[in-house]
Amino acid sequence: MTATTKTSTPMTPNRTSRVEATIARRKAEGGGALIGYLPVGFPTLAESIGAAVALAENGVDIIELGLPYSDPVMDGPVIQAATQQALANGFRLRHGIEAVAAITARVDAPVLVMTYWNPILQYGVDRFADDLLAAGGAGLITPDLIPDDAADWFAASDRTGLDRVFLAAPSSSDERLAHAVEVSRGFVYAVSTMGITGARSDVDSAARVLVDRLRLAGATSACVGLGISTPEQVREILGYADGAIVGSALVKALSDGGVPALGALAARLAAGATGIRAAV
């Protein structure tokens, strides 16, 4: 594996989604996409760039780069601690753009930015979209932005062709799931369990039901996140979903053992993402 207010329906831009293409390629190979999350600026900005590169070099297909935020309502203790350290080190939003540019200059894996919405509003939605595109970024994952309130982001992402990944939860109604499928581009982020992020010993069975519901709503790319930490869990998820998203386990590996430990875990997780569909 190589590193490579309710609104009207958004327009379809003239740009192929590299994220969707990557997921489709991995499915065609008989596996599924492994998506790895790391926060920008942890332990330092330079080290976070090197760590993200190491993910791609060790089999992670898509990089999810988190922008540190002072009120991370969805993040568990491991990620909160890392982002708080990044903020204490002086992280600024422009550092996120710099990191995307540095990573995409070194590896081919698409880089999605995971961010709460308020920092983007403060930066300027159009300005951020333009800067992210210029840096080689693929798009945004926006955990606290619902499609009903995303008119500005729809306009900016339609203009630039950036992906927009919205979240779907087990508690979502069928109507809301259908809306998320309709407006997402890249994939729909299926939250595997209710609560905050963090590695768990098992993955909530609600994830499979949620992916089935997203399929019925028309989703062609549904990726599962929250709580995935082992190759066995990656393999389990990819038996029914198109991608597995790992965050806290990777951040902990980086915190405990630096880039070597991070790379070793990424390689083990990537092994779990290979040959899934041939085996089930």
Q: How many other C-beta atoms lie within 10 A of the C-beta of residue 175? A: 9
In the residue annotation, 130 being an active-site residue is answered as no
Largest CA distance in the chain: 48
Find the helix or strand (DSSP H, E) in which 62 lies. strand 62-66
By CB atoms closer than 10 A (0-12, 13-18, 19+), residue 90 is: exposed
State the Cα–Cα distance between residues 224 and 238, nearest whole angstrom. 9
Q: Which two tokens stand for residue 111?
A: 């880089």
In the residue annotation, 174 being an active-site residue is answered as no
Residues linked to residue 222 through DSSP beta bridges, in sequence order: 188
| Contact call for residues 22 and 110 (beta carbons, < 8 A) | yes
* Nearest CA-CA partner of 48 in 92, 4, 93, 82: 82
Task: Supply the DSSP symbol for 205.
Answer: T
| Contact call for residues 113 and 65 (beta carbons, < 8 A) | yes
Please pick, among 64, 131, 204, 242, the residue that the annotation labels catalytic.
64
Please pick, among 20, 61, 75, 242, the residue that the annotation labels catalytic.
75
Q: Give catalytic residues, as residue numbers.
A: 64, 75
